[in-house]
Structure 1
Amino acid sequence: MRNDIPPHRAGEPIRAGVPEHGRIPRYYAVKTELLVLIEEIGEGACLPAERELAERYGVSRVTLRQAVGELVLEGRLLRRQGSRTVVAPPKLLQPLALVSYTEGIRTQGLEPGRTVISAEVLSADPQLAADLGVEPGGEVIYLERVLLAGGERVGLESSYLPRHRFPRLLEDFDADGSLYAFLQRELGVVFGEAEERIETVLATPREALLIGTNPATPMILLHRVSWEPDGTPIERVRSLFRGDRFSFVTRLRQ
């Protein structure tokens, strides 16, 4: 097992995460070795057995498990039930733009899908009422859906819309489809702008169960409020994505 500082390569974080005092934690040194192995064996390949890897790198199984565990949380490895740990596919890239989840997933060659958890009418609390331009206690449509990509559960989306604007939405909209597309094509809604806030969280026990993920897996939480060009509110959306399966991309201009 090498204990020297890994050389810095162009494009990597400065010093590749090594503390300034230069002493590399053993699990981190193993992790860098595993990253090289992952690149060599490729997506879907099984890692060698735990004992073999521990012997190869000259560390204890506890140290090896810590390195593997971090790579699982980061989405570089997957633990398959009843089988060994395998190299994960690349993360899904979702654009931070006024496009639907459906469009973003299809551009990557996967079929998007949704499983409906709830579709109902609720009373708006003061903040939701302000976001959607309704009176506090006014009626809003609430849709909660598990997001799928190629049949895999990858997120959970909660959408709120003012009922007075879309009185027949629950009757006319196929909740398995794209809400964004329905609003545009069937109701003539024009998305003018949106404000989006992004943070990292851990899923609640209920959310983890719905998404089918480990509660310790980091999640990416997006809050979005959308308006038409004249400032009329359209929807407020809370989207929770698996941090091990998603990354987000945008292009910034001056």
Structure 2
Amino acid sequence: MSEGDPVPSERDLALRFEVARETVRQALRELLVEGRIRRQGRGTVVSRPKMVQPLSLRSYTEGAISHGRVPGRLVVNWEDVPADADVADALGLTLGAAVMHLERVLLADGERIGLESTFLPLARFRDLYDTYDPTTSLYAAVRAAGVEMGKATERIETVLASPREAALLECTTALPLLLLHRRSVDGKGEPIERVRSLYRGDRIAFEAQLSR
């Protein structure tokens, strides 16, 4: 079957393969979680392959374009907030110091695949409010401001979405999500960002190149 083809009904599949309806239902649930099929209206269709992103300092925009996908972003929040203990520690700030918080839904060909929450030191990046379009690549704007990414530490976990996150990602709270925490610094070791990203496990995967 090709991308976009309708998936036969549970009844038809059960008759075709001579198995119980519950067996078919479980198989379809597994295919849904794997991203092989997706809901569309009242039916189910074959999904396109997952977008595979490298674990690197390359931006989301660059990764999406390299896979022939059209990147996009929907801005949820862009405001100054006081740094909590985790953000303050990551950015080398005092507790409660003002930081820039940018929260966006990440799109690929118009589909919602991720929810990204980025914290930046306000004193260092205040000018972004005047120069940056938050629907475009943040890393490109940071480079344009004369700041180059040096290295980053990233941790990956699996979680379930909260009701708010599920609504923003247009999924159910039962869908497994990939949670990424990233802390990036420049070449001198000065903190640039603290990022919390949620990705739909049925639409994206990550890979890393390893060597001895």
TM-score band (shorter)? over 0.9
Alignment-derived partner of residue 252 in structure 1: 210
Tell me what 1:22 maps to: none
Partner of 2:109: 150
Contact 1:131 1:225 in 2 (8 A): yes
Counterpart in 1 of 2:50? Answer: 91
Following TM superposition, by how much is the alpha carbon of 1:88 offset from its aligned partner in structure 2, in angstroms?
1.3
Q: SS at the partner of 1:207? A: helix
Aligned to 1:173: 132
Letter in structure 2 aligned against 1:86: V
Aligned-partner residue type, residue 178 of structure 2:
I
Q: What fraction of aligned residue pairs are identical, expressed as a percent?
A: 52
Aligned match of 1:212: 170
**Which residue of structure 2 aligns with residue 101 of structure 1?**
60
| SS in structure 2 at match of 1:227 | strand
Larger CA Rg, structure 1 vs 2: 1
Q: Which residue of 1 aligns with 2:16?
A: 56
State the shift of 1:248 in Å.
Answer: 0.5
- CA-to-aligned-CA distance 1:22-78 (integer Å, 9 cap, x gap): xxxxxxxxxxxxxxxxxxx23222222322211122222222111111111111111
Higher strand proportion: 2
User: Is structure 2 residue 197 aligned with structure 1 residue 239?
Assistant: yes
Say whether residues 1:129 and 2:88 are aligned partners.
yes
- RMSD in angstroms over aligned alpha carbons? 1.1
Q: How many residues align?
A: 212
- Where does the alignment leave 5 or more consecutive residues of structure 2 unmatched? none
TM superposition outliers: structure 1 runs of 4+ over 3 Å: none
Amino acid at match of 2:31: L
**TM-score, normalised via structure 1 length:** 0.81
Q: Distance in 1 between matches of 2:179 and 2:13?
A: 35
Give the whole-Å Cα distance in 2 for the aligned partners of 1:119 and 1:220.
23
Tell me the CA shift for residue 129 of structure 1. 1.0
* Segment drifting more, 171-180 vs 98-107: 171-180
Distance 2:81 2:34 in 1: 37
Q: Are the equivalent residues in 2 in contact too, given 1:217–1:242 (CA < 8 A)?
A: yes
Q: Which structure is higher in RCO with an 8 Å CA cutoff and minimum separation 6?
A: 2
In structure 1, C-alpha distance between the alignment counterparts of 2:10 and 2:84, rounded to whole Å: 52
Q: Distance in 1 between matches of 2:157 and 2:128?
A: 30
1:222 aligns with 2:185: no
Show structure 1 runs of 5+ residues with no match: 1-40
